[in-house]
Structure 1
Amino acid sequence: MNRTQAREWLVKLLYQYDISKLEPQKIFDKFLEDNDPEDEKDYIENTFFGVIKNVDNIDEKIKKYLKNWDINRIAKIDLAIMRCSFYEILYSTDIPSSVSINEAVEIAKKYSTEKSPAFINGILGNLVRDIIGGDANGD
């Protein structure tokens, strides 16, 4: 499994958590039972539980960039994609923000609506500009 596939699984796990409200450990254990993430297990595990641990802070940051839009109206898959990317940008030191944004947009193209990639790109780009500094290319 490569990192792109790992991110897709991570988004699926976050989506499942948000929809089902099952215990996170049960969701993760079932994932491991059905899949072999190989060398991406630590990334998936750390990011999944990291997002859940910090979901309130991440959601507050997301809300900051929503203009005339309520977080509860965001499609659950888009929210899962953004939570994953926000976590990477805010809490991970080894993933360039440009990579996280690009991956989020590609996942949105695959799993969400036609308008979602641009929406997600805009939200993440604003985060990078305002919180991290520089531009959305990680500069």
Structure 2
Amino acid sequence: MGTRRKSRELTLQMLFQSEMGKQSPDDVRQSFWAQRADVEEETRGFADDLFRTAIERTIEIDALIQKHAEHWRLDRMAAVDRNILRAAVAELMGYPQTPKPVVINEALEIARKFSS
């Protein structure tokens, strides 16, 4: 698995934990990485950046998702799906140099792995 894919999956896991565990994002990050000391720095750095972007821009990201999610309210989406979308939109916002089709494809592949 590539570094970026692994980072995206780790971002999803942190976002999910942050939402479901009701911990602060900083607490989630600290405990998450404490259990994953073997993750390479490049992988961790990209995951951290996506996580921070998603957390800091949650209101804006959720508004964009809601605007384009026809017939779906954000709170009715499965938590995994909602957080996959948040991570993808965070990447589109924070890394505009990454081609949009790549971000979309990665989100779909992660959904195949983690979603029902």
TM-score by length of 2: 0.90
Q: Which residue of the partner structure matches residue 55 of structure 1?
A: 58
> Partners in 1 of 2:45 and 2:27 — Cα distance?
16
Q: Alignment partner of 1:68: what SS?
A: coil
Q: Which residue of the partner structure matches residue 37 of structure 1?
A: 39
Q: Which residue of the partner structure matches residue 21 of structure 1?
A: 22
Please state how far the C-alpha of 1:34 moved relative to its aligned partner.
1.2
Kept in 2, the 8 Å contact 1:89–1:100? The answer is yes
Q: Alignment partner of 1:22: what SS?
A: coil
> Partners in 2 of 1:78 and 1:56 — Cα distance?
17
Kept in 2, the 8 Å contact 1:6–1:37? The answer is no
Please state how far the C-alpha of 1:111 moved relative to its aligned partner.
1.0
Q: Tell me the number of residue pairs that the alignment of Structure 1 and Structure 2 aligns.
A: 113
Kept in 2, the 8 Å contact 1:59–1:83? The answer is yes
Kept in 1, the 8 Å contact 2:6–2:43? The answer is no
> Partners in 1 of 2:71 and 2:46 — Cα distance?
34
TM-score by length of 1: 0.76
Q: Which runs of 5+ in 2 are unaligned?
A: none
Please state how far the C-alpha of 1:43 moved relative to its aligned partner.
0.8
> Partners in 1 of 2:91 and 2:51 — Cα distance?
11
Kept in 1, the 8 Å contact 2:80–2:114? The answer is yes
> Which stretches of structure 1, 4 residues or longer, exceed 3 Å deviation after superposition?
none
Q: Which protein has the larger Cα radius of gyration, Structure 1 or Structure 2?
A: 1
- Cα RMSD after superposing both structures: 1.3
Q: Which amino acid aligns with 2:65?
A: I
For residues 63-94 of structure 1, the C-alpha deviation after alignment (integer angstroms, 9 at most, x for no partner) is 11121221110000001100000111122133
- Larger relative contact order, structure 1 or 2 (CA cutoff 8 Å, min sep 6): 2
